[in-house]
Amino acid sequence: MSFVKVGDSLSTGERFGLIRFGSRLDIYLPLTAQVLVGLGQPSIAGETVLADLRATEPGRQYRVG
């Protein structure tokens, strides 16, 4: 469920939708984005930083298990 419409402006940390329990979320990032989480890594909405769009350092590695 989305709370905004195409063209709306958002501020950092502002809610723009709702994911119900068990739902999947697809996130599309530019190819230049530095991904900061790994496959299978738990994340917390509003807390876990998923990517850095301006990073210059090498990518992080995450090991499951």
Closest residue by Cα to residue 29 from 63, 57, 54: 54
CA 13/CA 52 separation, integer angstroms:
15
Closest residue by Cα to residue 38 from 55, 65, 60: 60
Identify the active-site residue in 9, 11, 23, 43.
23
CA 20/CA 54 separation, integer angstroms:
30
> Quick check: is 43 catalytic?
no
Query: Would you please indicate which residues are annotated as catalytic (active-site) residues?
Result: 23
